[in-house]
Structure 1
Amino acid sequence: MIIKEASLIPFSLKLNSTFKNSKSNFSNRNGLILKLVDESGNSAYGECSPLEGFSKESLQDAEKELHDFCKDVINKSNENFFNLSYSTSVNFCIEQAFHSLLLQHNFELKSYYQQSKKIKVNAVIGLTNIEEAINLISQKINLGYDTIKLKVGRENPYDDFLLIEKVREIFGNEIKIRLDANQKWNCDEAIEYLLNLEQFNIEYIEEPSSSFCSNLKTADSTNIQVALDESLTDFQTAQEFITDSSINFFVLKPMMFGFEKTLKLIELTESINKFVIISSSFESAIGKSGLVFLAAQTKHNYAHGLDTSEYFVNDNCEDFYKPNNSFINFDINKYPPKFIL
C-alpha cells in the first residue's frame, strides 16, 4: 500500500452550551482532520484535536507535526505507520487513518477484531444546579439510559451530596451513578466525602484526589471504587498503574495515548480482569468513530463515555455512531464509515 495523497482539513465545532467541570470550561472544539488516499483510491481519515488542559501538546504544535508528516509520507509504503514518535494526538490521528486504510485493503484483518458489539454508553451531567441536573437526567432516562455520570467538586461539597441524594430519591436504584471529581479534593477531603456517599451505591468515582497516591489511599479507605483518568499521563504510567495498583477501572481518552497504545492497554486490562472505559474528549464524528472501534474491542459490558453527539451545534460530517436507547451498534463490516467532508 502506497500513500499518494495526504492533506489536512481544519475544523471548529461549537458546543450548544459551555461544558463545565471542576477544572475547566470550554464552548468549542478545534482540530484537524488528516485525509490519506492510497494508490487504489481508498480514502481514510484521522482526527487530531488535543484537549486544552489535558493534552501536553497544543493544536499549533500538532499542526506542525502533521504538516511534516504529510510532506514525508507521499509515495511511502506502510512500514513505519505504527510506533510513531509524534505527540499523542498526532499519533492517534495518523494511526486511526492508517488503520482504516488497512481494513479496506486487508479484509482478513477484520477477523482479528470484535465483529459486532452493542456498546453501552453513559450520559454525562456537568456542574449545573440541582433542578437542571434532575431535568437532564430525567430526559436521558426517558431515552433509555441507565448509567449517569455526574460531575462533582462544587465549592460546597454538601451541594454534591444533595444532588446525589435527590437522584436516588427520585430515580431509585434502577440507574447506575458514576461520579467524576477531576482531582478536586485532597486525600482527606476525598475520604471524608466518599464515606458520606457510600450509602448511595456509587458504581465508581473518577479521580477524587489530586495525585495517584492520594487516589490509591482513597480507594483503600472507602467502599466506593476509584477510577483513574487524569493520573494516566502517559502509556508507561498507565501500564504500571494497571499492573501494579489495586484500581480496577481505567478511563482512557485515546487522544491522550494514541490509537495503537490504547489497543494495547485494553489488551492488558482484559488479561488481568480489569476494565478500560473509553471516554471521548469531545472529538468530532470522525475521531469518535475511532473511539467506537476501540470501545468495541473491550469485552466487558460497562458503559463507555461516548455520548457527545448532542453537544455540538453542527458536526463536520455525519455521525454514524449516535446512541440509540443508550447503545451504539458497531459492525466491523461497516467500519470505517464512508465519511463525506
Structure 2
Amino acid sequence: MNLDFFPIKLTNDRLVFLVKIASGWGEIAPLSMNKELYDRIVATLTQLKQELKPIDIFSLEQIPLFLTGFDCFVRYGVEQALLHDLANRRGQSLAQLLCKTNKPKHNLKINALISRVSPQAAGIMTDKLIGQGYTNIKIKVGSADIKEDIERVQTVRQRAGNRISIHLDANGAWQKNNVIHNLSLLSPFMIDYIEQPVKTLAELAWLNDRSPIPVAVDEAVTSLAELQMAIKLCCCNIFVIKPAFWGGILPARAGLELALSQGRSVVLTGTLEGAIGRWGVYELGRAYSLDRACGLTGFDYADAGLDYTSLGITAELWR
C-alpha cells in the first residue's frame, strides 16, 4: 500500500497533515504543532510508509495492528485513511463500512458554535447562523464572571426564540462550590444540556443528580475504560466523543456502542480540524444514525486548490 503525506495550513494558520494511503484520505490535526511534534509525525509517517508497502488490508480487524504506540492524532489520521481505502475497495461509503446493522443515516444534524464573545457579538452571530439554516447552537460558558455567560446565553435565546436548540460547554471551568449556582442561573434559557461543567468523573457523578441542566461528559472520557467508569459512577446520560482524542474512529465506535447499549446518548464532535478530518467523524455519526446534533465546526484549507470533492464534502454538509 502506498502512503503519501504532506503538511498543509488551515485558514486559521493551524498546521495539519493530510495522509493518503492508496485511495484513502485521512487528516492528522494536533491542537498545536511545534518543531518537535512536527519532526516526530514526519518520522512516524516515513517509517509507516515503508512498513505498509508490502501490506494489503482486507478487514477492519487488521487496521489496529498497524497503529500501536502512535500519538492519538496520528492514529486517527492514519486509521481514517486505511478505513477510507478499504471502503473504496469494497464499493462502500465510509459510513456503510462502519455500519453494523441498519443503513446509514442520510445526513446528520450539526450544531454551530458561539465562543466566549460579547453579548452583542453573540447576537449578530445568532442571526447569521439562523440565516444559514442552523437549528442547534453550542455556546461556550465558563467565563470568570458568570454574569458574562448569562448575558451571552440570554442574548442568543432572545434572538433565536424557540427556533433553535441550545447547549452549553464549560470545559470543566467550575467547581463544586459554584457549579449548581451557575447552572441554576442559566437553566431558565431552555438549555438542552451542558458539556463538562466540572473536571473530574467524581465531581460529575456528584453533580449529575443535582444539576438543573442535563450533564454531558466530554474531555474526562477519552477511552473505553474511562467510559466504563463514568457509566459505573452514573456521571451523565450524554457522552461527547471526539474520535481524534480517542485515537481513531474504531476506538470511538467501541465507546459509542457501549454508551448506546447502556441507554446513554452520544454526541460526536471534531477538534476544529479541516474538512477531511471532520468528514471521518461525520461518517461515523451517519453509521449509527445519531439523533443529537454533532459538533463539526472547523476550518478550510489555506490551499484552495486542494481537491477532495470525491469525498462528497460540501459546505452544506456542516449545517
TM-score above 0.5, yes or no: yes
Q: CA deviation at 1:279?
A: 0.8
In 2 relative to 1, CA 50–296 (structure 1 residues): closer, same or farther, beyond 3 Å?
A: same
Q: In 2, distance between residues paired with 1:275 and 1:127? A: 26
Q: CA deviation at 1:105?
A: 1.8
CA deviations over 1:184-216 (Å, ceiling 9, x no partner): 111222111001222122111111112222222
| Secondary structure of the structure 1 residue equivalent to 2:188 | helix
1:163 counterpart residue number = 152
In 2 relative to 1, CA 103–225 (structure 1 residues): closer, same or farther, beyond 3 Å?
A: same
1:95 counterpart residue number = 79
| Secondary structure of the structure 1 residue equivalent to 2:162 | helix
Contact 2:223 2:255 survives alignment (8 Å)? no
TM-score, L = length of structure 2: 0.86
Most deviating of 87-96 and 107-116: 107-116
Residue from 64, 70, 95 that aligns with 2:49: 70
Q: In 2, distance between residues paired with 1:102 and 1:111? A: 8
In 2 relative to 1, CA 299–246 (structure 1 residues): closer, same or farther, beyond 3 Å?
A: farther
Most deviating of 177-186 and 43-52: 43-52
Residue from 21, 30, 51 that aligns with 1:36: 21
2:270 counterpart residue number = 280
Residue from 165, 186, 191 that aligns with 2:175: 186
Structure 2's unaligned 5+ residue stretches are none
TM-score, L = length of structure 1: 0.81
In 2 relative to 1, CA 291–197 (structure 1 residues): closer, same or farther, beyond 3 Å?
A: same
Contact 2:8 2:303 survives alignment (8 Å)? no
Same amino acid, percent of matched pairs: 26
- Structure 2 residue identity aligned to 1:222: S
- Structure 1 residue identity aligned to 2:7: P
Q: CA deviation at 1:272?
A: 2.1
Contact 2:126 2:160 survives alignment (8 Å)? no
Most deviating of 229-238 and 76-85: 76-85
Q: CA deviation at 1:87?
A: 2.2
| Secondary structure of the structure 2 residue equivalent to 1:81 | helix
Q: CA deviation at 1:260?
A: 0.8
1:13 counterpart residue number = 10
Most deviating of 108-117 and 135-144: 108-117
Aligned residues: 303
Bigger proportion of residues as strand: 1
In 2 relative to 1, CA 45–132 (structure 1 residues): closer, same or farther, beyond 3 Å?
A: same
2:220 counterpart residue number = 231
In 2 relative to 1, CA 314–223 (structure 1 residues): closer, same or farther, beyond 3 Å?
A: farther
| Secondary structure of the structure 1 residue equivalent to 2:64 | coil
- Structure 2 residue identity aligned to 1:32: F
Q: CA deviation at 1:325?
A: 8.8
When the two chains are superposed, the root-mean-square deviation of aligned CA atoms in Å is 2.5
Question: Aligned runs of 1:252-263 on 2, under 5 Å?
Answer: 252-257=241-246, 258-263=248-253
Q: In 1, distance between residues paired with 2:187 and 2:105? A: 36
